């Protein structure tokens, strides 16, 4: 067996026969085979933490978040949830000065996933732990209660949906209904207990430069190209003084998903100014803004190359964004091979 195979914890298809082969990264020389029952998986809510506590095994055995098969639900059921969220989005369009709920749902999907730490596989969208106060009250999540409250009746209507699936699907619906790319999405996240909620402070700050951004997103296993593509979601919505101490929208079309963010970064006349909350932000004569982390994308040569690419090629932006957003929403989750990948129809394409 090659070293690479030993170093990477992996699961063979035999998982379906309930055998799990774990290779602990740090112990590298040991291969441990364990048999787990469905019963055990249910008890632990899909969260596997093999901690044999033997001297020859590390006490930090790998955590595996195995997506659960929802046997009696098909694509039709999930499209029904999609439609319920999309219709609500269309109906409640007056929110936030007629921007609507799309941007805040996108941000909720990202923040509920962005707590993932690839180094120990804690946090992330899997456990839906944003539902607990410890996470929703994280100062980085200010304003996201609007998204969670929007989704609460959807969860009542479809109680079989886990919170992780709900929050991530909300983001997928928002991007697609706001005319963005189709985001392939997989189900099966499992609600974890409250004590699995990650500590506050895992989400990034907007006040720093390119080095900080690059280093931060490594923890989420995202590279330069993926980070620039993802940041293009700042074409949506706006910053709110009361949430983050930043003020204003990134562009003109705050509820349409386009590559406007990159065009504005390159074409506007940006001035660094102090806002009412005494934070520095870049402002343009048209009343648009950029966070320090946004502007950092045109201060760094490697990031700049992708900004130019996406400003001139909207199709490429859509293609790369869809891949990166899917990856962001799936950080840390192991999907059995049998998990379907859904590509939902928008209300428009269904003629609804
Ligand atoms: Fe962004 N964001 N974002 N964002 N975001 C928003 C709003 C906002 C940061 C900071 C930041 C991503 C990454 C990052 C997204 C989508 C995404 C705001 C204003 C700030 C300060 C929030 C407010 O209400 O004041 C960074 C720099 C630090 C956390 C950052 O790395 C990513 C990856 C995405 C999704 C792909 C959206 C849609 C919004 C608008 C929200 C709204 O309510 O309008």
Q: How do residues 311-331 score in pLDDT, each as one tens digit?
A: 999 999 999 999 999 999 999
20 & 157 share domain = no
Is the Cβ–Cβ distance between 331 and 113 less than 8 Å?
A: yes
Atom of ligand 1 nearest to the CA of 216: 31
In a domain, 9, yes or no: no
What is the structure's pLDDT at 49? 57
Residue 29 has pLDDT above 90, yes or no: no
pLDDT greater than 90 at residue 21: no
Read off the pLDDT of residues 182-195 as tens digits, 9 standing for 90 and up: 999 999 999 999 99
Pocket around ligand 1 at a 6 A CB cut-off: 103-104, 106-107, 110, 143, 203-204, 206, 230-231, 233-234, 236-240, 243-244, 246, 291, 293, 325
Q: What is the per-residue pLDDT for 251?
A: 98
DSSP 138-201: SGGGTTTHHHHHHHHHHHHH-TTS-HHHHHHHHHHHHHHHTT-----B-----PPPGGGPPPS-
To the query of whether residue 250 is one of the catalytic residues in this protein, the response is yes
Domain that holds residue 214: 210-324
Is 185 in the active site?
Answer: no
Helix pair 102-113, 75-91: axis angle to 10 deg: 130
- Asked if 165 and 195 sit in the same domain, the reply is yes
The structure tokens listed for 327 are 């990856």
Residue 316 maps to a domain? yes
Give pLDDT tens digits for 186-241.
999 999 999 999 999 999 999 999 999 999 999 999 999 999 999 999 999 999 99
296 and 310 both lie in a single domain? yes
User: Which tokens in the block code for residue 30?
Assistant: 């040991």
Domain-located, residue 136: yes
**Which is the catalytic residue, given 48, 250, 270, 282?**
250
Give me the catalytic one of 65, 111, 163, 295.
111
Residue 99 and residue 125 share a domain: yes
User: What would the mean pLDDT of 30-37 be, rounded to a whole number?
Assistant: 29
Same domain, 175 and 283: no
What is the tally of structural domains in the chain?
A: 3
- pLDDT value for 51: 47
Pocket test for ligand 1, best of 234, 235, 257, 280 (most atoms within 8 A of CB): 234
Q: Mutation test of ligand 1: which of 107, 125, 249 has the most ligand atoms closer than 8 Å to its C-beta?
A: 107
User: φ, ψ for residue 282 (rounded to 5)?
Assistant: -90, 125
Q: Is residue 264 part of a domain?
A: yes
Contacts of 168 (CB under 8 A, 6+ apart): 109, 112, 113, 125, 185, 189, 329
Whether residue 87 sits in one domain with residue 187: yes
């Amino acid at each position: 067996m090659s070293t690479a195979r030993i170093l990477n914890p992996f699961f063979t298809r035999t998982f379906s026969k309930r055998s799990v082969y774990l290779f602990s990264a740090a112990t590298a020389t040991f291969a441990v085979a364990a048999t787990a029952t469905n019963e055990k998986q249910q008890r632990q809510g899909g969260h596997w933490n093999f901690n044999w506590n033997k001297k020859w095994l590390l006490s930090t055995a790998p955590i595996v978040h195995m997506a659960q098969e929802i046997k009696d639900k098909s694509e039709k059921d999930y499209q029904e949830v999609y439609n319920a969220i999309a219709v609500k989005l269309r109906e409640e369009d007056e929110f936030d000065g007629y921007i609507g709920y799309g941007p805040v749902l996108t941000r909720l999907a990202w923040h509920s996933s962005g707590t993932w730490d690839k180094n120990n596989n804690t946090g992330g969208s899997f456990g839906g732990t944003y539902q607990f106060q410890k996470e929703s009250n994280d100062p980085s999540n200010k304003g996201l209660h609007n998204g969670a409250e929007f989704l609460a009746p959807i969860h009542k209507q479809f109680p079989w949906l886990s919170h992780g699936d709900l929050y991530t699907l909300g983001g997928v619906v928002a991007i697609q209904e706001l005319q963005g790319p189709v985001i392939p999405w997989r189900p099966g996240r499992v609600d974890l207990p409250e004590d699995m909620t990650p500590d506050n402070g895992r989400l990034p700050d907007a006040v720093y430069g390119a080095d900080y951004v690059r280093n931060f997103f490594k923890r989420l296993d995202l590279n330069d190209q993926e980070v620039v593509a993802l940041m293009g979601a700042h074409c949506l919505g706006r910053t709110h003084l009361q949430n983050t101490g930043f003020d204003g929208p990134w562009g003109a079309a705050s509820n349409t998903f386009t590559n406007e963010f990159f065009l504005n970064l390159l074409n506007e006349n940006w001035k660094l100014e102090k806002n009412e909350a005494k934070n520095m932000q870049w402002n343009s004569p048209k009343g648009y803004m950029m966070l320090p982390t946004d502007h950092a994308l045109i201060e760094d040569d490697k990031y700049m190359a992708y900004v130019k690419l996406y400003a001139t090629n909207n199709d490429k932006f859509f293609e790369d964004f869809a891949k990166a957003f899917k990856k962001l929403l799936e950080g840390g989750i192991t999907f059995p091979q049998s998990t379907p990948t859904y590509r939902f129809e928008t209300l428009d394409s269904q003629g609804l």
